[in-house]
Structure 1
Amino acid sequence: MSQQKLADLCELSVDQISNIERGKNWTGEVSLAFLARALRVPVYSLLDYSGNQAFVNGGGLLWRAPRKRRQY
């Protein structure tokens, strides 16, 4: 599914979908519910990685995209 199609189904922007996908942004409960509904899966399945052995063996959620530091 394209990011545009998912964004349309979730009523989120393509930028939001892209940032979530790349680990640059996390989503709140409402957006998470929209994603689950659009993908026709339970919300918990978006957060349960126990069945994905490759993900778990690769370090799982220990890795995340680097954040840009804000310059004040």
Structure 2
Amino acid sequence: MKKKYIFIPLAFSIFTSAQVGINTEEPTKTLDINGELRVRTLPSGDVIDDILVSDIDGNVRKVSRNSFGTG
């Protein structure tokens, strides 16, 4: 009888998506935040060459500092 109770949660977990929304009813990305964002720790090497940017839709991505060129 205990085996059935273990199987039921596993069966439902297969059909759920791994999207989490903060202040949003329907997340569209793995982590969807409607509000401000604070990142406390970012992995870095000896030289920091990446910049976090966001587009008009709020999608954040990492770009190389070299892609902006120098003035």
Task: Bin the TM-score by the shorter chain.
Answer: under 0.3
TM-score of the aligned structures, taking structure 2 as reference length: 0.25
Q: Greater relative contact order: 1 or 2 (C-alpha under 8 angstroms, separation 6 or more)?
A: 1
Counting strand residues as a fraction of each chain, which structure ranks higher? 2
